[in-house]
Amino acid sequence: MTTATLFPNAPDVSAQDYCVFGLATCFVKEDNEYHQTEVIEPIPSAALEAILKGIPTSYHLVCAKSLGEIFGGELIEKPAEFPEDAKF
Rounded CA separation 23/11 (Å): 28
Q: What is the pLDDT of residue 1?
A: 42
pTM of the model: 0.77
Q: What is the pLDDT of residue 63?
A: 93
Q: In this structure, what DSSP letter does residue 76 have?
A: P
pLDDT digits (tens, 9 = 90+) for 3-39: 556 788 888 988 899 999 999 999 999 999 999 999 9
In the predicted structure, residue 83 carries a pLDDT above the cut 60: yes
**Percentage of residues in the chain with pLDDT exceeding 70?**
94
Do the beta carbons of residue 35 and residue 27 sit within 8 Å?
Answer: yes
Cα-trace Rg, the chain? 15
Helix (H, G, I), strand (E, B) or coil at 12: coil
